[in-house]
Amino acid sequence: MTGLIVKGMVAGSFALSRVQTKLASFSREEKGATAVEYALIVGLIAVAIIVAVTLLGTSIKNLFNQASCALKGGVWTSPNCSI
C-alpha cells in the first residue's frame, strides 16, 4: 500500500514539475508582449499627431497663406491677400 502511495506522489510531483516548466517557459516568452507594447506606442504617437494637427492646423494654414502672399508680392490681411 505504501508503495502505491509513493508511486502516486512521484507521479504527482513529476506532473507538477512539467506544469512548472511549461509555466516558466510561457512567462519567459515575450514576443506577444513586445508586439502589444509597440502597438500601444504607435497608437499614442497617432493620437499625439492628431491632437497637434487639430490644435495647430489653423495657425499653420495662416502661416502658409501669409508666406504665399509675400511670395506673390502682396500684403497679408487676416483672411485675404492684397496684391
Sequence spans of domains, the chain: 2-82
CA atoms within 13 A on the CB side of 38: 6
Contact yes or no for 81/70 (Cβ under 8 A): no
Q: What is the distance between the alpha carbons of residues 14 and 53, in angstroms, rounded to a whole number? A: 60
Contact yes or no for 28/41 (Cβ under 8 A): no
Query: 31 or 17: whose pLDDT is higher?
Result: 17
Run of H or E residues at 75: strand 75-77
Q: What is the distance between the alpha carbons of residues 6 and 28, in angstroms, rounded to a whole number? A: 33
pLDDT at 30: 62
pLDDT at 70: 86
Q: What is the pTM of this model?
A: 0.44
Three cell numbers at 56?
A: 495647430
User: Is residue 9 over pLDDT 60?
Assistant: no
